[in-house]
């Protein structure tokens, strides 16, 4: 049944393309953002790109967002959207972070300052001062750096680097006095990837191939499987940011930015069954369009985000520069009827 739906959707998309009409997926439900960040510093360009969230368990409302201006560097925002810190890192595209406990919060950003060789910039996030301290710039591998995601499991830190040419480098991060990386696997998808996310329970890697859909790579496997294709129903190209919320031993949700029609698709784990779509619509702050990166973290983030925080890049924030919108996860779940 699903293959028939996909075939029909692709045929419809092809006809729409011939007619010069952009594909539109299934109608999304609307949710409103609670807050937005200050705009990034680079004006009149496609500059804001990807967010990451650090949850302050001791004081959830004091949590922080790290996000990229891909023309200039990394911002640190509070949950009111105010700028708390900035580091000049040049062309950094995507960002992720993990709390390693004794070693603190480690931030990694994909470095595009050298378009022939993908690099990674690592930082320590001082959560008390909301400042980023550079740690190292390391090489991921040949190709133009683009995406990045981190995994922290059983005391082992892994970093994944999708590059524009379709390769994904998996590297173990060695947290000695000086940080280093050791390549473990080299994976591939047919065309340009960007967004990625790792299930912290078992190390399953999900990668967004922008024109193709969402791929899943089991822990240790070298071959992946496309588990949510671009079908012009749930996903309209480009597939951009991915975010994952685990629940229980195997359950939870994966959210993807369906950039082509300004929506977000939600899938159940582990079967990747589509559960619905939502859009961020005009409210006390603006709507979102053409979203690149997203992030979602469950848990208490204070009165405005009692069950979790969803952050999405806004590609059209005129008259100001691009920024990021903050949405309550409980509002999204309610709108979609998720339990």
Asked whether residue 3 is domain-assigned, the answer is: no
Q: How high is the pLDDT of residue 89?
A: 96
Asked whether residue 151 is domain-assigned, the answer is: yes
Mean pLDDT by 10 residues, the chain (339 residues): 36 46 92 98 93 97 97 97 97 97 95 95 98 97 97 96 98 94 98 98 98 97 97 97 97 98 98 98 97 98 97 96 98 96
Exposure string (b/e) for 272-306, b if CB count within 10 Å is 16 or more? bebbbbbbbeeeebbbbebbbbbbbbbbbbeebbe
Asked whether residue 123 is domain-assigned, the answer is: yes
Q: Report the first-to-last Cα separation within the chain, whole angstroms.
A: 25
- pLDDT tens sequence across 87-96: 999 999 999 9
Residue 250 CA from chain centroid, whole number: 21
Q: How high is the pLDDT of residue 6?
A: 36
- pLDDT tens sequence across 110-137: 999 999 999 999 999 999 999 999 999 9
On whether the CB atoms of residues 245 and 270 are closer than 8 A, the answer is no
Asked whether residue 17 is domain-assigned, the answer is: no
Q: Which domain holds residue 228?
A: 25-336
Asked whether residue 9 is domain-assigned, the answer is: no
Q: How high is the pLDDT of residue 257?
A: 98
Asked whether residue 169 is domain-assigned, the answer is: yes
- Distances 323 to 75, 132, 144, 313 between C-alpha atoms, Å: 11, 19, 24, 6
Asked whether residue 253 is domain-assigned, the answer is: yes
Q: How far apart are CA 145 and CA 115, in angstroms?
A: 7
What are the percentages of helix, strand and coil residues in the chain, rounded to 5?
Answer: 10, 50, 40
- pLDDT tens sequence across 43-78: 989 999 999 999 999 999 999 999 999 999 999 999
Tokens of 255: 């959210």
Q: How high is the pLDDT of residue 20?
A: 65
Residue 29 maps to which CATH number?
2.120.10.30
Structural domains in the chain (count): 1
Asked whether residue 5 is domain-assigned, the answer is: no
Q: How high is the pLDDT of residue 22?
A: 79
Sign, CA dihedral 315-318-324-326, equals negative
């Amino acid at each position: 049944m699903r293959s028939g739906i996909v075939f029909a959707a692709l045929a419809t998309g092809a006809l729409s393309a011939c007619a010069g009409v952009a594909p539109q997926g299934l109608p999304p439900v609307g949710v409103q953002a609670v807050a937005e960040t200050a705009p990034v510093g680079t004006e009149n360009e496609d500059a804001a790109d990807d967010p990451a969230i650090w949850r302050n368990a001791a004081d959830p409302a004091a949590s922080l967002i790290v996000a990229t201006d891909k023309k200039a560097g990394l911002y640190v925002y509070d949950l009111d959207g105010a700028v708390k810190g900035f580091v000049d890192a040049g062309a950094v595209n995507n960002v992720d972070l993990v709390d390693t406990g004794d070693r603190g919060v480690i931030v990694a950003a994909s470095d595009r300052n050298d378009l022939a060789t993908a690099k990674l910039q690592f930082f320590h996030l001082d959560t008390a001062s909301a400042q980023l301290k550079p740690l190292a710039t390391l090489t991921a591998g040949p190709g133009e750096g683009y995406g990045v995601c981190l995994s922290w499991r059983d005391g082992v830190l892994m970093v994944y680097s999708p590059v524009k040419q379709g390769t994904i480098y998996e590297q173990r991060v060695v947290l000695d006095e000086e940080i280093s990386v050791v390549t473990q696997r080299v994976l591939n998808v047919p065309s340009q990837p960007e967004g990625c996310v790792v299930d912290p329970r078992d190390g399953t890697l999900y990668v967004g191939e922008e024109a193709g859909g969402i791929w899943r790579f089991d822990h240790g496997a070298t071959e992946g499987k496309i588990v949510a294709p671009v079908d012009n129903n749930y996903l309209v190209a480009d597939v951009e940011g991915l975010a994952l919320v685990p629940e229980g031993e195997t359950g939870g949700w994966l959210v993807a930015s369906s950039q082509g029609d300004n929506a977000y698709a939600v899938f159940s784990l582990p079967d990747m069954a589509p559960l619905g779509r939502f859009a961020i619509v005009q409210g006390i702050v603006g709507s979102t369009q053409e979203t690149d990166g997203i992030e979602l973290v469950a848990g208490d983030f204070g009165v405005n985000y009692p069950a979790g925080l969803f952050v999405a890049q806004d590609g059209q924030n005129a008259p100001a520069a691009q920024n990021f919108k903050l949405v309550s996860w409980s509002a999204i779940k309610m709108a979609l009827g998720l339990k």
